[in-house]
Chains A and B, each alone.
Chain A
């Protein structure tokens, strides 16, 4: 009989537990706040024999992902975790892992980028590598972290793509919550052993994996044509777009097995009759559900659209859910400096040229762990509703004011 145990644990423990349930074979570890407890926990399990895996305690994040790249290339299920500057330091390898099509799973305990130094939460780190070609999933609570990390391995291995499981540093990584832990049989039924990798590393069938590729197609020694860099990158894009289906199916199959449905690509709250849609990814979206309740109490028809899968970007699904609404207010915990919040920008792109598209108003909040009280979220919605130009096409994205990208709770600065 399959069993489910409810345990109170942190988000980091949930991530580590998922890696163990997924029977990871190689774990690379380098400490950085707030991720460190993930690999500390796994280290203890490997030392005790509870998790039969190779644990490689490397000397940098660059090497952490390099170890995963090497291990994944020869067919091992590989895992690591990082945050902020650690992710930035491994950026070269973030691109490598994706371009090499390696199904590595990496948890990101989201944290602000330095400078200035700040160890607290926002989502600037993972948002800054959204273009690298990984699947990016954002979690709203610790149960979702566990479930999504298990699902991530299946998505990765089905699509030959690496998957980043992102969750908010401290807010989730260090906060205790009850988490339903599935038993090993449930996970094993959901996640079979890793299929044979695309890469062949075998003296009996020698290949050169990842050599220089010309821009144009080139024939092999038998005259068979192979793609150039351009064709290989196009395949990467096709695979990433097709991964949306794998994300949805993983969620659906997991829901069937465990009863927990996290919504696939997006999720929503009180959305059906909403005129005002509050959009965010991660725990901020959970906070928005509380704000939506308050707004509903004040007879404002607000609902929430949570983004679970940010890459591939579910543009059609988001556009369909926003069609016919009056206003979408997008709350970003990151900036594309010199322009606007990344999710706000993407949603505007997704809506361009579509009928019944709402206005889209961008709000940036919570950078560097700045508290985002529900009252401020409610006020932001009320301000946007009271500002006819908020989210209007002419509103300049790069300015900081209530009509354009708004910095929520920004203090008046005294210049000395």
Chain B
């Protein structure tokens, strides 16, 4: 894994942007833009990223960026990729679609599925803050069981959709699970994705201070806890070869370092969650984690 001191520093993300204090989207964006050295075009629907990008006529990112309609991310990216090929500019930049979990798991999944089936030539990054944070914390298909949102006042009753598995089922060449607060791991995955063609999908966990209900200083803490508890596993599947990466690879040997209860404690979205729900989520995590470890050991 690339060491922090070896990570590139390109300055494509500008300070004084509109993101909430402590939002780790900036951590991730700095890695993504630096891993690609700015030779990219970002395709982005309505989302927290739109807010970070700022309002006309000033942009907070010094990279080409095309805003698009909420359901259309993967289709607009398909069109940009096709347009760049048609005009002989495909080598000038990597097309990077980047949408939130609502824009991916819910309203954008049709276009994403179509683009994945066609194996369109772009990187799609879902930054998953586990609800519609930009519109006031409504539940999404990616909201975890037990989480309170402004449309699940007593806690969501369903488990989140496994969008990564859905995309993987389209038989694309590269999918990866990442976290905004594991920057070296994220950097390596973006570099790996950029080194191949076709549809590449990265699902990136993104703790949200306001939506999850914790102090902005704790974004990294909760992102790490999510991995230590196995709620988020860092892995990649490249040409069918599965491997856990970074911290998750270490946890596969040592066993998980945190429980679901520890992860939930301190996040106000889980305030008042029942013991029964915690146990259900723990069981769901254990099943899922053991399945991923089995895949890791089998390498497929």
**Chain A 80-121 per-residue mask, 1 if CB under 8 angstroms from chain B, else 0:** 000000000000110010000000000000000000000000
A207, B64: Cβ atoms closer than 8 Å? yes
Residues of B within 8 A of A57 (CB): 118
A59, B111: Cβ atoms closer than 8 Å? yes
* Least CB distance, B116 to chain A, in whole angstroms: 10
Residues of B within 8 A of A58 (CB): 75, 78, 111, 114, 118
Interface residue? A73 (CB, 8 A) = yes
A63, B114: Cβ atoms closer than 8 Å? yes
Chain A residues 187 to 239 lying within 8 A of chain B, measured CB to CB, are 199-203, 206-214, 218-221, 224, 226
Residues of B within 8 A of A25 (CB): 83, 86-87
Interface residue? A78 (CB, 8 A) = yes
Interface residue? A182 (CB, 8 A) = no
Bin chain A's interface residue count.
35 or more
A62-B71, A212-B50 are known contacts. Are A73 and B66 too (CB-CB below 8 A)? Answer: yes
Interface residue? B288 (CB, 8 A) = no
Sample (14) of A-B pairs whose CB atoms are under 8 Å apart? A57-B118, A63-B72, A66-B79, A69-B76, A70-B82, A70-B83, A71-B79, A74-B80, A76-B83, A199-B66, A203-B93, A208-B54, A211-B54, A213-B55
In the docked arrangement, what's the CA distance between A53 and B86, Å? 7
Interface residue? A68 (CB, 8 A) = yes
**Number of A-B residue pairs at CB separation under 8 A:** 175
Residues of B within 8 A of A26 (CB): 79, 82-83, 86
B78, A206: Cβ atoms closer than 8 Å? no
* Least CB distance, A317 to chain B, in whole angstroms: 35
A58-B75, A208-B67, A210-B67 are known contacts. Are A71 and B83 too (CB-CB below 8 A)? Answer: yes
* Least CB distance, A130 to chain B, in whole angstroms: 20
**Chain A 167-203 per-residue mask, 1 if CB under 8 angstroms from chain B, else 0:** 0000000000000000000000000000000011111
Number of interface residues of B (CB under 8 A): 48
A74-B87, A209-B67, A211-B50 are known contacts. Are A56 and B82 too (CB-CB below 8 A)? Answer: yes
In the docked arrangement, what's the CA distance between A203 and B71, Å? 26
B65, A208: Cβ atoms closer than 8 Å? yes
B56, A214: Cβ atoms closer than 8 Å? yes
Interface residue? A28 (CB, 8 A) = yes
B57, A218: Cβ atoms closer than 8 Å? yes
Residues of B within 8 A of A202 (CB): 64, 92
The 7 closest A-B pairs by CB, nearest first: A70-B79, A59-B114, A71-B83, A66-B75, A63-B75, A208-B59, A67-B79
* Least CB distance, A396 to chain B, in whole angstroms: 39
Residues of B within 8 A of A199 (CB): 66
* Least CB distance, B192 to chain A, in whole angstroms: 21
Interface residue? A75 (CB, 8 A) = yes
Chain A residues 363 to 384 lying within 8 A of chain B, measured CB to CB, are none
In the docked arrangement, what's the CA distance between A134 and B39, Å? 33
